[in-house]
Amino acid sequence: MSRAFVAGASEWSAEAGPPRAELLTRTQRAGAEFCTRILAHVIAEATARALVEPSTIPWVLGSAVDSPSWLTPDAPLRRALQPSSGVGIVHAGPGTAAMCLVEAIALVDDSDAVLVALAQDATSPYHEALAVAFVLTAAPREGGLVLETPVLRRTRESTRRTESEHPLKALLDVARAVSVGQPTVQTVAPGPPDRPERWQIELGRPF
């Protein structure tokens, strides 16, 4: 499938205040890493807005950091998300956001809904913690927007992102655009800033 409809979205940044992380039990929240709590926060919000139970749908989780402890099989968040098939973990550095969407949109054909969620803690060079989540569907919902499969496009020098730009910033902007029903287009750097191509993530209205 080359695109999917957005049934629910959520984003967390420091502006939102402490994450609620209601997907985890009180005991799990008390011992959870910060990335786990912000990821649980956006997953719970996005699935609630899409009217789906997070443990019943396939998911794709992503982090720009390779093999974070909060995505290990025995981590509390992984135990809360236990569909039997169509699961994936994505670590692709600056290209993580685009690669997660590519994986999730590919799963939509075989599922009523797919969850895609990403989080990044405040580590150099990104300097701030961010988390985003989307529930994608094959069928449109009233007022819903469409995410196209990300594509690599050559960009002008003035629009290229640097290595210090947050790998989830483009998806944060997309999630905020979904919340107000305003289509947007963002790009995400797939590698070093001297590369001429960038991932284009396009959000639009269905036709």
Q: Domain boundaries in the chain?
A: 3-204
CA distance 24 to 45: 13
Handedness of CA 33, 39, 45, 51 (dihedral sign): negative
Which residues have C-beta within 8 Å of that of residue 85, sequence separation ≥ 6? 58
pLDDT reading at 6 higher than 90 = yes
Q: What pTM was computed for the model?
A: 0.86
The pLDDT of residue 158: 45
Q: Once rounded to an integer, what is the mean pLDDT over residues 60-88? A: 72
The CATH number of domain 3-204 is 1.20.1060: no
Model pLDDT for residues 108-148, shown as the tens digit of each residue: 988 889 999 998 877 665 568 899 999 999 988 777 799 99
Residue holding tokens 């590369």? 195
Q: Once rounded to an integer, what is the mean pLDDT over residues 27-42? A: 88
Q: Where are the alpha helices (DSSP H) in the chain?
A: 26-31, 34-50, 76-80, 96-108, 169-180
Model pLDDT for residues 80-117, shown as the tens digit of each residue: 887 655 577 777 777 888 889 999 999 998 888 999 99
The pLDDT of residue 160: 47
- HSE-CB of 12 using CA atoms within 13 angstroms: 28
Q: Are strands 197-204 and 3-12 parallel, antiparallel or unpaired?
A: unpaired
